Amino acid sequence: MRDYIRRFLIAIIMALCVSLLFLGGRHSEAAGLPEKQAHHHWIWPADGVISDTYGTRMGKHKGIDIAGEMDTPILAVEDGVVEKSYFSDTYGNVLFIKHPQKFVTVYAHLNKRSVIEGQNIKQGQIIGKMGQTGQATGIHLHFETHQGEWRFDKKYAIDPEKLLGSTDVGEFVQAGVASHGFTSQLLCSGTNR
């Protein structure tokens, strides 16, 4: 009888562990962005290879990483106003851009920032150069999207793939290519909408 109870308890514990894998951790409140709010005209911010995606590192990675070569041009994904431009110990050279539809995009680890706070920018405008500043383990762009505002706790973080389109680690993305938000179509084809 004891053996039966022990096996039953082990099965319950394993079932709980498996269900936690599928349910995941606690997500940001903005993670449930409705499809109707997608911005199908956003463009990829840089040429490079996706090296990390949203939600990795035990749910703490609130952006995507695009690895590339030093000084690869970084483009604004949409028109907006530069909200912040500064050097951070963690983000390195970083830009925050506020967009008309109440989104904020973050471009981190830049080698160079080419725009200043308060500056109006246009979609596709070069705003900086890819680098390895701050707490970066290699040359890449760390790109985040937030609904409404950026907060230190990243409460309003949204998976950038919901606005840029789906991709996987190891895939090449091309700067300036229009997004297909909320589709499974990959953007490495080089076709522009």
Convert the pLDDT of each residue in 153-184 to its tens digit. Answer: 888 899 998 888 888 899 999 998 876 543 33
Convert the pLDDT of each residue in 9-43 to its tens digit. Answer: 676 676 665 555 545 444 444 444 444 444 458 99
Q: Which residues, listed in sequence order, are joined to residue 81 by a DSSP beta bridge?
A: 98, 120
- d(Cα 158, Cα 58) in Å, to the nearest integer? 16
- Percent above pLDDT 70 for the chain: 74
- Whether the predicted pLDDT of 56 surpasses 60: yes
The pLDDT score that the predictor gives to residue 193 is 30
- Whether the predicted pLDDT of 142 surpasses 70: yes
pTM beyond 0.75: no
The pLDDT score that the predictor gives to residue 145 is 95
- For the chain, the maximum distance between any two Cα atoms, rounded to a whole number of angstroms, is 73
- d(Cα 119, Cα 9) in Å, to the nearest integer? 61
What value does the mean pLDDT of the chain take? 81
Domain boundaries, the chain: 29-189
The pLDDT score that the predictor gives to residue 180 is 52
Q: CATH code for 29-189? A: 2.70.70.10
Nearest one of 87, 88, 115 to 98, comparing CA atoms: 115
